[in-house]
Amino acid sequence: MTGAAGFIGFHVARTLLVEGRRVVGLDNLNDYYDPSLKQARLDVLRASKGFEFVQADLTDRTAIAASFAKHRFATVIHLAAQAGVRHSIDNPQACADANLEGFLNILEGCRYNGCSHLLYASSSSVYGANTKQPFAVGDPTDHPVSLYAATKKANEVMAYCYSHLYRLPMTGLRFFTIYGPWGRPDMAYFLFTKAIIEGRPIKLFNHGRMRRDFSYVDDVARVVSLLIDRPPRRGEPGGDPPARIYNVGNNHPEELSRMVTLLEEALGRTAVKEMLPMQAGDVIETFADISDLMRDIGFVPRTPFDEGIRRFVSWYRGHYGI
């Protein structure tokens, strides 16, 4: 698993370890956000005998190839990436290096070492400027509004190509605004919580008129767990490749204003709000059609939004001693 010290990777790895699976977790532990949070996640994972950690960068072709050759992974879960829509606009090279070159190294590792299933992280960002709601997997994804979205679209195309050429089973996961304990400090709900506690203003872009299909991280980890042993069927040469894509979301958009209200209630404090115009690269609403996921694995989101926010705030207070 790549990105094992990241937000989603940590939760997926912990879920798999509880199931009794062995996990080799790879991460470069970069400083895109506080590395001490990544180390704290790793400390939890290292408490399990089934976990092994490898520190390496996706762009280090030699290190990635050596890890594949050593372990010959039957299943690969690729969650590492340079995240952040704004970061991709300000630092395009870092985004391209990790998300394009890094993904190619993972594909090559799978190709040459007998991998029977690659699950990889895509993003709801691929829907870009689409206005049809909810977003369905078959909708066009040809109008990205950020470089991050463009790299995730490219990942899907690269995966399809490798699946076609080498009959490698590939499952792409378009994640929709994942939240919960141990989250990423650059995400809005995390930033808002910190600002409200410190009495600083929170920035509400598009004057707060945004809707997101918030997906609780434990529900997301359950999706990955259920899909691991369900690779797409290998087709005959020249036929349809064994490649598929799913939306992974809550199937229910929430107003950003409701998230702020829930945070205020959980924290017992009132937010100071700064209303701002729309950011470049952002979209007004995301809404996941998860009917394929419901049909294929019986997935139904279990965590109500208000409960998920309460759990995050409880974790935040405990982790930071507040």
Residues catalogued as catalytic: 148
Torsion of the alpha carbons at 205, 210, 213 and 217, rounded to the nearest 10 = 30
- Say how far apart CA 261 and CA 306 lie, in whole Å: 10
Cis peptide before 242 (omega within 30 of 0): no
- Say how far apart CA 192 and CA 161 lie, in whole Å: 40
Contacts of 7 (CB under 8 A, 6+ apart): 178, 182, 183, 184, 217
Torsion of the alpha carbons at 12, 39, 71 and 122, rounded to the nearest 10 = 40
DSSP 8-state class, residue 317: H
- Say how far apart CA 32 and CA 35 lie, in whole Å: 8
Q: Is the dihedral of CA 247, 252, 257, 258 positive or negative?
A: negative
- As given in the structure block, the two tokens for residue 2 are 């790549």
Three-class DSSP category at 127: helix
- As given in the structure block, the two tokens for residue 274 are 């700064």
- Say how far apart CA 300 and CA 106 lie, in whole Å: 30
**Are 227 and 189 a contacting pair, CB within 8 Å?**
no
The owner of tokens 């994640």 is 175
**In 10 A of CB 284, how many CB atoms?**
12
Please classify residue 180 by burial: count the beta carbons closer than 10 Å to its beta carbon, then call 0-12 exposed, 13-18 middle and 19+ buried: buried
